[in-house]
Structure 1
Amino acid sequence: MAKIHPFKAVRPTRDKVSLIASRSYQSYTPEERDSRMDYNPYSFLHIVNPGYKYHKEISGDERYKLVRNRYLEFKEDEIFKQDETPCFYVYKIVNREQESFCGIIAAASAEDYENDIIKKHEDTLTDRESTFKQYLKTVGFNAEPVLLTYPDNDSIARIIKKVSTERAEYEFTTTYRDTHYLWKVDSKDYIEQIQSAFQTMETIYIADGHHRSASSFLLAKDLASNNNTHSGKESYNFFMSYLIPESDLRIYEFNRLIKDLNGLSKEEFLIRLDEWFRIENRGIEVYKPSKPHHFSMYLDGEFYSLYLRKTIYKFTDALEELDAQILFKTVLDPILGIKNLRTDTRIEYSHGKNGIVYVKSKIDQEEFEVGFGLFPATVDQMKKIADQGLKMPPKSTYIEPKLRSGITIYEF
C-alpha cells in the first residue's frame, strides 16, 4: 500500500510565483543563469546560486549554508509563506504543444522507497546520493518534487476534475509558453479519499528523480538514527513528489552521438553492423524509427535504417528488449568500444524533442562521426524493468512533464 501524505507547503505569494519559478539549476547555461538573476531579483536561482551575490563560485558546505540563508531571507521578506494546515496540491501543466499533465503534489514515504513499493528503473551514483543528502540536511528543504506515476484511478481523477473547476491559486505562463496551474486541496474528505485511493496501490513508480529519491531516503535514515524520540511521523520520513497517472506521462527517446568509429573505416564499421542488423541506405532522406528494435543512423552525410536481426539477438528479460540496451550490447560496446555510458567522453546524448535533424546537424558540423536515433520506450517497458528489479542504461528515457522549482517547498 502506497502511503501519501498532505503537508504544509511553503509557497510564493500569488503575485510573485511566476517570477520565482525556475527550471532545474543544471538546465541553464551559465550565461542564461546570470541573465535571469541580473533582471529578476525574485528568481529561485538566487537561492540555489548564492555565490552570485558575491560574484564568486561557491561550493560544498559553504554553498549549502548560504542557500539556507537566502531561503530564510525570502521567508523573512514574506516572499514565501507556509500554509497553515497540511494539504495536497493539484498541479496542472499545459505545454506549448497543448499537451496537458495533471497530478497531485504530496509527500511520499521514504519507507515505501526502501520496501520497493516505490519502484526504480535507473541506477544511481553513490557519490551523487551522498552529496545531495548532505545538501538537503543543511538547507532543510526540498523545492523540486520527484516525479512519480501511478495506474490511472477513477476516484483520484474525479477529485482532480472537481478541484480544477475552482479558481486556481496560481495560474501563470512561462517564457517557454508552458502554463502552470495549482489548486490547494485542504478538504478533509478529499484528503482522506486521495489517501485511501493510493493505499489500494501495491506499487507506484519513479518516472524522474531517482537521485533525489535515494538522497531523501538516506536523509531519513540519517536523521532517524540521531533522533531518540523517532516516531516515523516526522517530516524527514517523507519526500515531496508529483504524482501523475500513467496516461499523462510522456516518454521520449535519447538519441546517441559518437565522436569516432573506434579506428574503423566506414566500410569496416558497416560490415560489423551487418552481423546484428539489416541495413538500408536511405541517402539524404531523413529516417526516424517507427517501431521498437528499428534504429536510424546518420553517417557521412547519409541516413541508414537498421532493423535488428531477431533470429540472432535473444530477448531474455525486459531489459534486453529495451532499444537503448540493444544498441549498447550490439554496437556501442562491442564495435565502438564504449564500455561505460556514464563516463565515456566519446558519447553524448540528445533528447528526442530535439529531433533526428539535430543529430544530423551536429555530425555535419563535424562535432561527431556517427549518430543513432531510437524509438522511445513505453511506460509498460519502464514498469516491467522496475518490476524485475533491473535497471535501464543511462539516458534511456526523456520524460515529461519537467517541473519548475520553488512553486511548492517541503521543509524537513
Structure 2
Amino acid sequence: MATIKPFKALRPKREFAEQVSCVPYDVLTKAEARQYVAENQLSFLRVTRPKSDFPKGEVPPWNVVVEHAKANLRWFIEEGYLKRDKKDAIYIYRLSRKGQSQTGVVACLSLDEYEAGVIKKHENVRPEKVNDRAAHIVSLRAQTGLIFTAFRGTEEIERLIAEAVAGEPLYDYVAPEGVSQQVWRCTETTPFVEAFAGVPSIYIADGHHRIEGARLARLELHRQDHAPSPDAEYNFVMAAMFPADELRILPYNRVVRDLNGLTTEEFLERAAEHFVITEADTAEPSEHGEILTYVAGNWYDMRFRADHMAHRDPIHNLDVSILQDFLLAPVLGITDPTTSERIEFISGMRGTAELERLVDSGEAVAAFSLYATRMKDLLTVSDMGETMPPKSTWFEPKLKDGLLVHEI
C-alpha cells in the first residue's frame, strides 16, 4: 500500500509564481533553454537547467554546473522570490486546457516503496542521466521537480480533492502555452495519508530519471549523515499523483530519413506482408493497430493484420511495438531506434502537419502517425514488471517545475 508524506514546500511567493515556474528541464533544446533564461531571469530553469545560464559555447564540468544551480537557488531564496512553508502540507495541483483538466495530489513518496515495487516504473533509464540528477539533488539538498505519477482513483480521494479545491488557491494563472495552473495547500493531511494507504500501487508516468536520481542521491546523503533516520527527508521523493482516468497520453510519432534503399513501391510491398494497406484521406489513426504512413506526398492507412495481433502479449501488442517489429526493424533496418540517427521522434503536440512538413521539405522520407498508447496498457505493462518500448508515451500537459520544491 502507498505511503505518502506531507512536507514543507519551498515555493514562489504568489506574485512571482508565473515568472518563476517553468517547463521540465528535459523538454527543451539547449537553444530553447538559453532563450527562456535570457528573456526571463526569474525562470526556474536557472536552477533545473543551469547550463543555460552559462555563456554560449562554454562547457563547464558537471560539478561546476550543479554548484551554479545551488547558488542560483540560494539567490531565489535570499532575494525573496521563494519562501518556505512553516507547516507540513499536502498540495493539490490542477492543470486545465480546452475544457479538460487533471487534478492531482502532491506529497512525498517513500523511496523504500519504490525499491520494493509499490511505485511501479515502465521505462529504462540511462545511467549518465541518473548520475547527473543525483549530483544535482545532492548539491542543492533539494528535489526541484515533480515525479509525474498515476494511481487508480478512489471515491474517498476524489472527495478529499473536491473539498480541498473549494478553497482559494495559492496559485491560479494561465501559462504561455494556454494551460491553467492552480495549486491549493492542505494542512489537514491525515485524511489524505489514510486514503492513500488503501491505494495498492503508484505508477510513474513521467520522471523515471528523476526518481532514480533521488534514489541514488539518498545513498550518498545517508553516507554523509552522522545520525541517519528513516524519517529523513532524503528517504522520500516529491511526486504529483493523478487519477489514471484523468490523464491524457498523446501519440509519439516517428519520421525516418530514408527507406533503406527501397523505392516507395517496394516499401509498400514489403509492408503489405503484415498490414492491409489502403490510400487514406486522414492523417490520424482511429483505433489500435492502425498506422497512418505519409510517404511520397500521400497518406496510407496500414492496418495490422488481425491474425497477427491475436497472438501477441501486451507489450508487443502496443502500436509502437507493432511499428518497430514489423516495419522499422525488418523493412527499414532500424533495429535500435534509441541510437539510430535515421529516425526522429515527434511529439503528438506538434500535430500531423509537422509530419507532412518534414517529409515534404526533404528532412525526412516517411512519417508514421501512431494511435496513442492507452493508459490501461501502461498500467498493465507496469503491473507485469516490464518496460515499455522507447518513446511510447507523451503526456500532456506537462507539470511545471518551480512551483513546489522539496528540500532534503
Report the counterpart of residue 231 of structure 2 in structure 1: 233
Q: What letter matches 2:174 in structure 1?
A: T
Does residue 61 (structure 1) correspond to residue 63 (structure 2)? The answer is yes
Deviations 1:23-48 (A, max 9, x none): 12343445544444334332212334
Does residue 383 (structure 1) correspond to residue 384 (structure 2)? The answer is no
Asked if the contact 1:105–1:241 (Cα under 8 Å) also holds between the matched residues in 2, the reply is: yes
Query: Aligned in 2, Cα 1:53/1:332: closer, same or farther, shift over 3 Å?
Result: closer
Asked if the contact 2:30–2:52 (Cα under 8 Å) also holds between the matched residues in 1, the reply is: no
Q: Which of the residues 240, 243, 246 maps onto 1:242?
A: 240
* Aligned-partner Cα distance in 1 for 2:402–2:324: 37
Alignment of 1:305-344 (within 5 A): 305-313=301-309, 315-344=311-340
Report the counterpart of residue 6 of structure 2 in structure 1: 6
User: SS of the counterpart of 2:74?
Assistant: helix
Does residue 106 (structure 1) correspond to residue 103 (structure 2)? The answer is no
TM-score by length of 1: 0.94
> Shift in Å at residue 19 of structure 1?
0.9
TM-score by length of 2: 0.95
Asked if the contact 1:276–1:313 (Cα under 8 Å) also holds between the matched residues in 2, the reply is: no
Alignment of 1:136-175 (within 5 A): 136-175=137-176
User: SS of the counterpart of 1:15?
Assistant: helix
* Aligned-partner Cα distance in 1 for 2:372–2:52: 39
User: SS of the counterpart of 1:319?
Assistant: coil
Report the counterpart of residue 75 of structure 2 in structure 1: 73
Aligned length: 406
Report the counterpart of residue 399 of structure 2 in structure 1: 403
Report the counterpart of residue 257 of structure 1 in structure 2: 255
Unaligned runs of 5+ in 2: none
Unaligned runs of 5+ in 1: none
Asked if the contact 1:117–1:203 (Cα under 8 Å) also holds between the matched residues in 2, the reply is: yes
* Aligned-partner Cα distance in 2 for 1:204–1:48: 25
Asked if the contact 1:261–1:336 (Cα under 8 Å) also holds between the matched residues in 2, the reply is: yes
User: SS of the counterpart of 1:236?
Assistant: helix
Deviations 1:274-295 (A, max 9, x none): 111111123xx23321110111
Does residue 357 (structure 1) correspond to residue 353 (structure 2)? The answer is yes
Asked if the contact 1:136–1:219 (Cα under 8 Å) also holds between the matched residues in 2, the reply is: yes
* Aligned-partner Cα distance in 1 for 2:221–2:377: 35
Q: What letter matches 1:410 in structure 2?
A: H
Deviations 1:47-88 (A, max 9, x none): 345566663533410010011011111111221111111110
Asked if the contact 1:143–1:407 (Cα under 8 Å) also holds between the matched residues in 2, the reply is: no
Q: What letter matches 2:62 in structure 1?
A: G
Alignment of 1:108-147 (within 5 A): 108-147=109-148
Query: Aligned in 2, Cα 1:30/1:212: closer, same or farther, shift over 3 Å?
Result: closer
Asked if the contact 2:37–2:53 (Cα under 8 Å) also holds between the matched residues in 1, the reply is: no
Deviations 1:192-243 (A, max 9, x none): 1111111111111001111111111122233224435322111001111011
Report the counterpart of residue 88 of structure 1 in structure 2: 90
Asked if the contact 1:101–1:401 (Cα under 8 Å) also holds between the matched residues in 2, the reply is: no
What is the aligned-residue RMSD (CA, Å)? 1.7
User: SS of the counterpart of 2:70?
Assistant: helix
Q: What letter matches 1:98 in structure 2?
A: G
> Shift in Å at residue 108 of structure 1?
0.9
Q: Percent identity?
A: 29
> Shift in Å at residue 150 of structure 1?
0.8
> Shift in Å at residue 158 of structure 1?
1.2
Report the counterpart of residue 37 of structure 1 in structure 2: 37
Q: What letter matches 1:338 in structure 2?
A: I
Does residue 394 (structure 1) correspond to residue 395 (structure 2)? The answer is no
